[in-house]
Structure formats: C-alpha cells, structure tokens
Amino acid sequence: MSTKIAVVGSNMVDLITYTDRMPNEGETLEAPSFAMGFGGKGANQAVAAAKLGADVMMVTKVGDDMFGPNTKKNLADNGIDTKYVETVPGVPSGVAPIFVEPNGSNSILIVKGANAHLKPADIDRVADDLKQCAIIVMQLEISVETIYHVLNFGKTHGIDVLLNPAPAQADLDMREVCKATFLVPNESELQILSGMPVTTIEEAEAAAKSLVDKGVQQVIVTLGENGVLLVETGRALHIDCPKVEAKDTTGAGDAFIGCFVSTYVRSRDLVASLEDAARYASDSITRLGTQSSYATAEQFEQFKATLG
Ligand code: RIB
C-alpha cells in the first residue's frame, strides 16, 4: 500500500514581527525583533511530514520574484518532491506578515499571490502521480474551485483527502467540503462550518457530529492547549496534549497535520497518529518561527522521551 503524501496547497514567505503588543489605530510602535522564514499552511504541513521521514510531493505555485526559487529550494532541501512546484510569470509569491505577542499568540495576514493561480487544470496534469498517493492534503489558501476539484478527484479514485479549512471561509459549499475523509478545523473554523456555537468541548463534539452526519468520515478538531477531539460515526474521543511554555504558536496546527498524516499513512492507527500529532504540535510551540520550529524525527523522539 502506498505511503506517499501529496500536499496540494500554498506556500508563503513569513514576515514575522515579535512585538510587545499590537499597535492601536494610527499609532507607530517599535517592536523588538523581526524574522523572515518559509511558511504557508501547505508548505508547513509538507515540511513537517517530510522532516518526520514521510515521502511527500507538493503541488504548488510560486511567483517569479526572489522568493520563488528560494521557496522551491527550501522544499527540496527538506526532501520534498518539487516536480510540481511551478513558477507563475509576472505574479508575486505568497507572503504572510505575522505578529507574535509575548505569550506566543499570533495574528496573520496572507497575500495569496501565485497560490491563487493553482487551478483545476493543474490538478488534471498531475493526476497520474496523485493517483499513486495514500492521501492528499489541502488547506484554504488556494482557490476553492481547485479544492472542490481535488475533493471530487479523491472520491472518484478512492484516495483519502484531508482538508484543513484554514484560514476560515464562510461561503464554502458544504456539500463539497463534506466529501473530505478527514476534516481538520480549529474551534473557530468548526463554528463557521457548522453554524453552531463552539465554546466548550461538548459544543465542539455536537458541531463536529453535525458534519459527520453530512458525510465527512472523520472530523478532527484542534483545540489548542486543550488537545484534540476526534468525532466519527459512533465515536467521540478527546486526546490531551502535553503542557509546555509557548514561545510562538504560529504554524502549530500545520505541525499537527504534518505529523498526523506522516504517522497515519505508515501505521493506519488513527488514535496513535492523533496522539503523536498532539505531542508534535506542543513541541513546535516551544521554538520560534513556523517551519523552523518543527522537529526532525530524531528530535521528536527526544521530546517524547522527556514526557515519561
Ligand atoms: O498556519 C501558519 C501559516 O499561516 C503561516 O506560515 C503563514 O504563512 C500562513 O499561511
């Protein structure tokens, strides 16, 4: 059985400002530090999975600016198959200005740039390789028509599709979204998708169940420091995560998904994969940056050994 993972998704260059507080309207504020790094939800998830030893292929588009070649090189340096990383002439790469506050919380703006140019026809061109994959992973930083196309492709060819509905988008066609095998929202994304309140774990369970009733096989709700909730037909399971001191939570959800798919395609053990993913995401927030905060397989084993 194939263990190959395809990420059909975004890449961004993260422009990260570490600030003591967010400025008020009209205010100029000095911030202590700045860092630039590779990001984008798709690329982050691909890099996390590859760092853990998974066989990953990325389908994405970069701009023809100075970020494009560096982004492609970064993916390749992390062991990702970049055959389908294309450059879009005359278009800038995706960028994400990010603000991180002292408690590690983040605020993110995204400018899709070349990511918006990944179209259904691009998927058809790589269909033969996608059919060889165990799972296709997507987020919402590319066009929705492409996302719906891949969800239908997965259904037609019997390939699992994981959709991370981030960043949240209110006008999605739920009949299409519910074709996902795994839907992995956080609490606010789940609230928007289900139209139900999600302020407690019980409410998250009810909201996730409403999506399972509409056809999603598994809803996996990431709950930040409260761990993760799996809801599928006949079962709801809450999994805790290790408590750590957060330095930068940016990309923790992506770390979770990268680790989850990496473990799942090899073990097919859903609960063990979720437990590993919760630990991997916790570990990632103890370091600064997005991809730069993701552990290798060896570093992750060392972290797990400290948990006892
Ligand atoms: O999930 C974190 C990511 O969101 C950042 O890397 C940023 O690029 C945005 O896509």
State residue 275's pLDDT score: 98
Q: Is the peptide bond before 185 cis (omega within 30 degrees of 0)?
A: no
Selection from 39, 114, 42, 49 nearest residue 78 by Cα: 49
Q: What is the total count of domains within the chain?
A: 1
pLDDT digits (tens, 9 = 90+) for 161-215: 999 999 999 899 999 999 999 999 999 999 999 999 999 999 999 999 999 999 9
Residue 288 phi, psi (nearest 5): -80, 155
Q: Return the pLDDT at 64.
A: 97
Which atom in ligand 1 lies closest to the alpha carbon of residue 253?
Answer: 1
120 upstream amide cis, omega within 30 of 0:
no
> pLDDT at residue 1 above 90?
no
Q: Is residue 97 part of a domain?
A: no
Is 7 a domain residue? no
Residues with Cβ < 8 Å from 65, sequence gap 6 or more? 92, 93
Rg (CA), the chain: 18
What 8-state DSSP symbol labels residue 57? E
For residue 29, being part of any structural domain is answered with: no
Indicate whether 281 belongs to any domain. yes
Residues with CB under 6 A from ligand 1: 12, 14, 39-41, 44, 96, 108, 110, 141, 250-251, 253-254, 290
How many angstroms is it from 42 CA to the middle of ligand 1? Answer: 8
In a domain, 32, yes or no: no
Query: Do residues 295 and 284 lie in contact, with contact meaning Cβ atoms separated by under 8 Å?
Result: yes
Does residue 96 lie within any of the structural domains? no
C-alpha 254 – ligand 1 centre gap (Å):
8
Quick one: DSSP state of residue 94? P
Look at residue 308 and tell me whether its pLDDT is greater than 80. no
The 10s digit of each residue's pLDDT in 263-279 is: 999 999 999 999 999 99
Domain residues for the domain of 230 are 41-91+116-306
At 162, which CATH number? 3.40.1190.20
- Tens of pLDDT, residues 37-47: 999 999 999 99
d(CA 295, CA 287): 10
Q: Looking at per-residue confidence, does 1 or 12 come out higher?
A: 12
Asked, for residue 12, whether it belongs to a domain, the answer is: no
State the first-to-last Cα distance of the chain, in angstroms, to the nearest integer. Answer: 33
β partners of residue 136: 6, 161
Residue 27 domain flag: no
Q: Taking residues 76-95, what's their average pLDDT?
A: 98
Percent of the chain residues topping a pLDDT of 90: 98
